[in-house]
Amino acid sequence: MIEMLDEDARILADLKKDLEEKIMRMEKELSSLKVLLKLVDETLSKISFIPASKLMEEEEPQQETYEFEQTFPIKSKTGEDLGTIYVGKGILKIVPKQDLSLKIPPFQSFFIERVLEEMKKKDEIAVEQKKKSPEEILEYEIKSEGDIIKEVIIRNVSEESRIREIRSSIRWTLERMMEKMSR
């Protein structure tokens, strides 16, 4: 029984020694880390007027600004205001007037899939055939709040025929969406 206690005591003494050594190593490492942090702070203060804490804060995403040369109202056949199209150099912005939902069928199934995606596919084929550069492929972004469309931005649109096609397609789409909402 005494031998057992001696063995346990020896194990515990070794464990205590190991723990003390580990604590000393960690305290030394912590001390080194504090020195390194101080050096980084000093260096940052020499090269920047902005405190390190401000550099660490996440910047808010900047809103893209575009210059639009033309504005076209989107009107239904009955003259009802459906929104506005802004045309700039290589870019279109569509802002629907009403709170239209992304889930109303003609928007996704017709305007996105059959109009914009088809234009994009044609551009990708033109890139493969070396008729266009990859930077010229049509891109679009739909900005929404929940399911409500706030605006559609279409980039890399410069051909007048495409602008006309998009204008007539969005007018038709918004008209059908309004019809479905009023049912």
Does residue 43 lie within any of the structural domains? yes
Regarding whether 159 and 80 lie in a shared domain, the answer is yes
Q: Do both 120 and 144 map to the same domain? A: yes
Residue 136: domain span:
68-182
Q: Is 176 a domain residue?
A: yes
Average pLDDT over residues 27-31: 85
| Same-domain check for residues 97 and 173 | yes
What are 125's two structure tokens?
A: 């084929």
pLDDT of 56: 56
- Asked whether residue 19 is assigned to any structural domain, the reply reads yes
pLDDT-based confidence at residue 36 (cuts at 50, 70, 90): confident
User: In terms of domains, do 98 and 121 share one?
Assistant: yes
Is the model more confident about 23 or about 31? 23
| 61 is a domain residue | no
Q: What pLDDT band is residue 133 in, cutting at 50, 70 and 90?
A: very high
177's CB contacts (< 8 A; 6+ apart) are 100, 101, 104, 106, 107
Q: How confident is the model at residue 105 (pLDDT cuts 50, 70, 90)?
A: confident
Among candidate residues 120, 64, 68, 65, the one with its CA nearest the CA of residue 89: 68
pLDDT at position 55 over 70: no
Has residue 129 got a pLDDT over 60? yes
- Please give the C-alpha separations between residue 122 and each of 74, 130, 134, in angstroms, as whole numbers: 26, 12, 12
The Cβ of residue 158 has, within 10 Å, a number of other Cβ atoms equal to 11
In this prediction, residue 172 carries a pLDDT of: 93
The confidence band for 59, taking pLDDT boundaries of 50, 70 and 90, is low
Identify the pLDDT of residue 163. 94
pLDDT at position 38 over 90:
no
Q: Which residues on neighbouring strands pair with residue 143, listed in sequence order? A: 151
Angstrom CA distances, 162 to 10, 85, 106, 111, 174, stand at 85, 13, 19, 13, 18
Distance CA 167, CA 173 (A): 10
Q: What is the pTM of this model?
A: 0.63
**103 and 151 inside one domain:** yes
Count how many domains the chain has. 2
- Is 147 or 17 the better-scoring residue by pLDDT? 17
